[in-house]
Each structure stands twice: as C-alpha cells, then as structure tokens.
Amino acid sequence: MKVKSDAELIKNYKLGDEESFEKLLCKYKGPLFNYILKMIGNKTISEDIFQDVWLNIIKSLHRYKERNKFSAYLFKLAHSRTIDHLRKQKHEIQVARGFIPRYSLSPHEAIYKKELISILNNAVSKLSLKEKEVFLLRQHTEMTFKEIALMLKCPLNTVLGRMHNAILNLRKTFKNAEL
C-alpha cells in the first residue's frame, strides 16, 4: 500500500476522513514532541504544549493552504507556542524575583555550581571599584551602558572600557581556577 503524502492526508481529512488525521498525527507525534521537550525540558508542560499545537491544527486545518510543507507549518506553530511559554515562564520568574531551576541538579552538579559561584564572587571582589561598579550595575539591573554612563557621570566609552576590563579580569581568574 502506497504511503500518502501530507497533502493527500490533509485533503482526505478535509473531506471527512478521520483516519487520515490519525495518520498525520502518528507521523509527526514523535519528532514534534521531542522538539518541544528539548526546548522546554519538562515532560508535563511539553505534553500540554503538544496538545495545544494539535488542537490548533484541528481548528485551522480547513484553512491550511499548501504553500509550504505541512511539517514546516506544524513546527512553526510548535516553535511559536514553545517560545510563548518560555517568555511567560521568564516573566513569571522575573516577577517572583527569584531563580527557579528547570530541573534538579545532581549532587555533583550542585557542588560544581557552588564552586563556580564562589570563584565568581571572589573574582568580582578583586575587580577595581570602578570595574566592579559597572559590572554589577550591568549584571543586576536592566540598565543599558548609556544609562550607566549617565548615572556615573562619565563618558559611554569609559563605561564600556571598564566593562571590557572587568570581563578580561574575570576570564583570567576563571582560566587560572582549578575546576
């Protein structure tokens, strides 16, 4: 039996053949779910997004015009839903003003992370006062370099130079650190 193309399956589904939709779903179920899962990192949320994408496909398939491949249409919709979720999640994390990890760290990873944070804090403490000021303002606020320059009452290029030097010094510290 010849395997039907996506266009044939969609055409048949529009004519009332529910089995054609099932074949379309089966064809893309694995790759689409895996894509969403790798983007989100959470199985339950990925399942919700996956279902949302297919519900949207069901609602809009009668309007679908074969200008592009169906797979491109499907994955574009999934990408859009995934990005929407990540933006919403980022906003919720910012509103909570806390860090919520997307997954649990293993004990080894947690120790490594603590070591990195300790090295970073130590390295930042060794920066010159002016470098530290620019670095911390940039890292812990939403201020632009121009806004930092206005606040510190110094030229933009001076602020950029301080940030550049801070990053170079931090890189040296990490390069020399034993991890």
Mean pLDDT of the chain: 81
pLDDT in tens, 98-154: 444 455 667 777 788 788 888 887 888 888 888 987 887 787 666 689 878 887 889
Q: Are 73 and 31 in contact (CB under 8 A)?
A: no
Residue 85 scores a pLDDT above 80: yes
pLDDT of residue 143: 66
The pTM (predicted TM-score) of the whole model is: 0.50
Query: Which has more pLDDT, 6 or 95?
Result: 6
Task: Please tell me the predicted confidence (pLDDT) of residue 4.
Answer: 81
Is the pLDDT at 80 greater than 90? The verdict is no
d(CA 126, CA 129): 9
Q: What is the pLDDT of residue 105?
A: 67
Query: Given this structure, which CATH class describes domain 6-96?
Result: mainly alpha
CATH of 114-176, one of 1.10.10.10, 1.20.140.10, 3.40.50.880, 3.30.300.10: 1.10.10.10
Domain range annotation of the chain: 6-96, 114-176
pLDDT digits (tens, 9 = 90+) for 11-42: 888 888 889 989 999 998 988 888 887 877 78
